[in-house]
Amino acid sequence: MKKISVAVSGAYGRMGQEVCRAVLDEENMELVGVFDLQGQGENIGKIIGETKLDIVITGLTKEALQEIKPMVLVDFTTPMAVMDNIKTALQSGVRPVVGTTGITSVDLSRITEWVEKSGLSAIVAPNFALGAVLMMKFAAEAARYFPQVEIIELHHDKKIDAPSGTALKTAEIITSERLKKPAEKDELLKLPGARGATQEGVHIHSVRLSGLVAHQEVIFGGLGQTLTIRHDSLDRSSFMPGVMLAIKNIVNLKGLVYGLENMI
């Protein structure tokens, strides 16, 4: 069986390094290239403790992709770089698996156009942790029975976008499953933003602190009761089973798949 050749964009970062290790641990995958704006010229093998691996970090270009010809590009970069990376991958005949957050609905429309034009496939997932996907599924079920809900998402202090993609996706799912939209009410906010941001009536609160990785709780309120659904990623390795699942599935898909829940 032919191995799936994989390149990683954002390989110098903590998530990128974790993806490189996970790919190397898979018998049916092969790491063929690593890209990043930082660490260029450094050997990724030395960075992740794989001394026998000799792949140098370079910038992501069409020429670089066409030279190594990966089947899949995994992207964990920044909201400012991810769209160009997706476009470059598809124009080079490479299928992107994207874990970078900050992608908007407008961005998804553009990605859909690029994917259709290329005749390939792409996977964009706000969260690759299987537990987080299940949290969203459970929240969708609860949304049918509870009239009120708020989302609190907590991430490490290096995360630059807020709210997180997972929180936005959760709010979107809850909105679609609600039997009726909650009635609006007057509020006296003594400080701007005290109630967080809102997406279609769902309040979202973002926390950024060192020591955190990725956490989210969805709190539902009803008559005389509350229900809290919470997921915690305590280590970045929690995202790897989902990333590996996406890599294995993308070669047999067509079009854009948004959300890991569509593959489990």
pLDDT at position 101 is 84
Provide the whole-model pTM.
0.84
Contact (CB, 8 A) for 58 and 40: yes
Residue 73 bridge partners (DSSP): 7, 96
Amino acid, single-letter form, for residue 241? P
Domains of the chain: 4-124+236-263 (3.40.50.720), 130-233 (3.30.360.10)
Q: How far apart are CA 100 and CA 36, in angstroms?
A: 13
Looking up tokens 């996406």, which residue turns up?
A: 246
Q: How far apart are CA 150 and CA 124, in angstroms?
A: 24
pLDDT at position 239 is 93
Q: Can you read off the two tokens belonging to residue 42?
A: 């450094």
pLDDT at position 255 is 94
pLDDT in tens, the chain (264 residues): 689 999 999 999 999 999 999 999 999 999 999 999 999 999 999 999 988 899 999 999 999 999 999 999 999 999 999 999 999 999 999 999 999 988 888 999 999 999 999 999 999 998 999 999 999 999 999 999 999 999 999 999 989 889 998 999 999 999 999 877 776 777 878 888 888 999 888 999 999 999 999 999 999 999 999 999 999 999 999 999 999 999 999 988 989 999 998 888
pLDDT at position 183 is 67
Can 203 be counted among the known catalytic residues?
A: no
Residue 198 Cα distances to 153, 165, 204, angstroms: 13, 14, 6
> Of 155, 205, 215, 231, which is the active-site residue?
155
pLDDT at position 179 is 75
> Of 87, 137, 156, 159, which is the active-site residue?
159
Amino acid, single-letter form, for residue 86? I
Contacts of 147 (CB under 8 A, 6+ apart): 180, 182, 221, 222
Contacts of 179 (CB under 8 A, 6+ apart): 144
Three-class secondary structure assignment of the chain: CCCEEEEEECCCCHHHHHHHHHHHHCCCEEEEEEECCCCCCCEHHHHHCCCCCCCEEECCCHHHHHHHCCCEEEECCCCCCHHHHHHHHHHCCCEEEECCCCCCHHHHHHHHHHHHHHCCEEEECCCCCHHHHHHHHHHHHHCCCCCEEEEEEEECCCCCCCCCHHHHHHHHHHHHHCCCCCCCCCCCCCCCCCCCEEECCEEEEEEECCCCCEEEEEEEEECCEEEEEEEEECCHHHHHHHHHHHHHHHCCCCEEEECHHHHC
Q: How far apart are CA 88 and CA 64, in angstroms?
A: 10
pLDDT at position 181 is 73
Can 159 be counted among the known catalytic residues?
A: yes
